[in-house]
Amino acid sequence: MSSLLESDYPTRRLVIAPNGSLSVAQAQWFFVGMCVVSFSIAGFVAAWGLWLVWPFAGLEMLALGAGLYVSLRDNGYREIVSVYEDRIEIEAGLNEPQRRWEFPRLLTQVRLTAGPYRHSPSRLLVTRHGHGCELGRCLCEDERARVAERLKSWVTAVELSEAVNHGSDEAFYRE
Mind listing the pLDDT tens digit for each residue in 72-122?
A: 888 888 999 998 888 889 999 988 888 999 988 888 888 888 888 888 888
- Rounded to two decimals, the pTM is 0.68
**Cα 125 to Cα 135: distance, rounded to the nearest angstrom:** 6
Give the closest residue to 152 by CA, choosing from 97, 86, 102, 88: 88
According to the model, what pLDDT value does residue 4 have? 47
According to the model, what pLDDT value does residue 171 have? 38
Domain chopping of the chain, boundaries: 24-74, 87-166
Distant-in-sequence, close-in-space partners of 18: CB < 8 Å, separation ≥ 6:
74, 75, 77, 138
From the first residue on, what is the mean pLDDT of each consecutive set of 10 residues in the chain (175 residues)? 53 86 92 96 92 93 95 88 88 90 86 85 86 87 90 71 44 35
